[in-house]
Amino acid sequence: EVVFVIDTSGSMEGASIRQARSALELGLKFLGPDDRFNLIEFDSDTRALFDESVPVQSPYLEEALDFIDDLRANGGTVMAPALARALDLPAQDGLLRQVIFVTDGSVGNEQELLLQVGDQLGDSRLFTVSIGSAPNAWFMRKAAEIGRGSHTHIGKLDEVAERMASLWTRIQHPALQDICVDWGTEAEFYPEIVPDLYAGEPLWLSARLTREPSEVLVCGELEGRYWETVARPERAGGSAALAGLWARHKIEALEDSRIFGVDADEVQRGVTELGLDFGLLTPYTSLVAVDRTPVRPQSAGLSARDVPNLLPAGTTLAAGFSQTATGWPAQLALSLFSLLVATGMLLYLPPSRPRPSGGARSPMAASSE
C-alpha cells in the first residue's frame, strides 16, 4: 500500500511543483497490479483523493492523473494533518503501508512533526522526497530516519526519473525488516532506531562495547520469516577514526534528543565532553587556527558594497515574500490593491479645517471683523 503525500504550499511554486508532479506521475507507473494507493495534498488544508487506498485499476489511475495535473502551489504549509491522515488511513490487511512524502520541508515546527511521526508511525514506513534547490534537508532526513524509511533528494526536473526509480527499487525490495542486533556484551550503538535494510543500500551501525565480543548476532524478518546470522568480528586494534565516527554519531543522537524533551543544558554538557575527548568540532567546541598572513595592508581603507538577497535556484518569487504563504502573484496583487486603496484615500480626503486656538494669534494670521 503506497500513500503519496504532496506539498502544494506557496513555497513549492515554480520548479518545485513541476518536479513534484512529475515524481507523482512516475510513482504511479511503478505500482504493481496487487498494490493499492492513495493521494493526499496539503497546503493550508488537507485533501485526500480517496477515503481509503484503492486498487491499481484504470478508473482510479485516470482520476489520480487528473488530480496530479490540477495541483497548484498556493497557501501555507500545515503539514501535521496531512501526516496524520496518511498514517491513520484504514488499514489494508496483509499490506505494508509505505508513505511517500514529497515536500521542500519549509516548516517551522520540526520538533512537533518529528514527535508526531514517532507517535503515529506504527508498522508503516515513511519515505521523504525533498524537492527543489533549497529544501529543509535536516528535517527530511530525520523524518525518514524516525519513520524507518529513507530520504531522496530531487534538485532538478531531469533527476526525477532516476531518483524515483531508485526509491521504488528500495520500496519494492526490502531485504531485511525489524532488524535486531545482539552485540554479545553491553553496547552503546547508533542509530538507536535501526532502519530496514534495502537492496543495494548498506546499513551502518557504530557501537562502543565494554569488551571484545566473540560473536555478534544479527536477526530480522526476511520475506515474512525469521532470519538470523552470526558474525565473528576480527580483532582490528584501536582506531582513532572509528572512535571519532562513533562519537559523531553519539553527538548527533544527543542533539536529536532535544526533540524528545531532553534538557538542553544536559545535551550541551554531553556534546561538549565528547567534542573535547575526541577532538571534534561541535556547536559548543571549536578548533582555532591563527593565520598571520595580512588580508589587506593596514594603510588601506575599508570598502563597503551592497550584497544581493539571492533566492534559491528555481524559485519564481519576484520579491522577498515569506515562504509557505500565498503565492507571489497573489501577494503582488494584494500589495498593489492596498497601494491603490491608500492612494485613493489620500486623493479623496476632505480638506482639513483650521483648528480653533484659545491663545494669542500669530502676527501673520489674517483677521476679519
Residues near 338 by beta carbon (within 8 Å), at least 6 away in sequence? none
Amino acid identity of residue 318, one-letter, is A
Beta strands in the chain (DSSP E): 2-7, 36-42, 46-48, 54-55, 98-103, 125-131, 151-154, 174-182, 187-190, 197-198, 206-209, 216-222, 225-231
Predicted confidence at residue 137, as pLDDT, reads 86
Predicted confidence at residue 269, as pLDDT, reads 96
CATH number given to 2-172: 3.40.50.410
In the chain, domain spans = 2-172, 174-235, 243-291
Predicted confidence at residue 360, as pLDDT, reads 43
pLDDT mean values, one per 10 residues, the chain (369 residues): 92 86 90 93 94 92 94 90 91 86 84 91 91 83 90 85 84 85 93 85 89 92 91 77 92 90 93 94 89 77 81 63 58 74 66 50 42
Spatial contact of 167 and 127, defined as CB atoms under 8 Å apart? yes
Predicted confidence at residue 125, as pLDDT, reads 92
Residue 333's SS3 state is: helix
Spatial contact of 38 and 49, defined as CB atoms under 8 Å apart? yes
| CA distances, 22 to each of 67, 158, 210 (Å) | 13, 10, 50
Residue 216's SS3 state is: strand
CA-only gyration radius of the chain, Å: 29
Residues paired with residue 42 on neighbouring β-strands, in sequence order: 7, 46
Omega prior to 202 cis, within 30 of 0: no
CA neighbor of 131 nearest in space, from 271, 276, 6: 6
Predicted confidence at residue 358, as pLDDT, reads 47
CA neighbor of 39 nearest in space, from 75, 66, 79, 12: 66
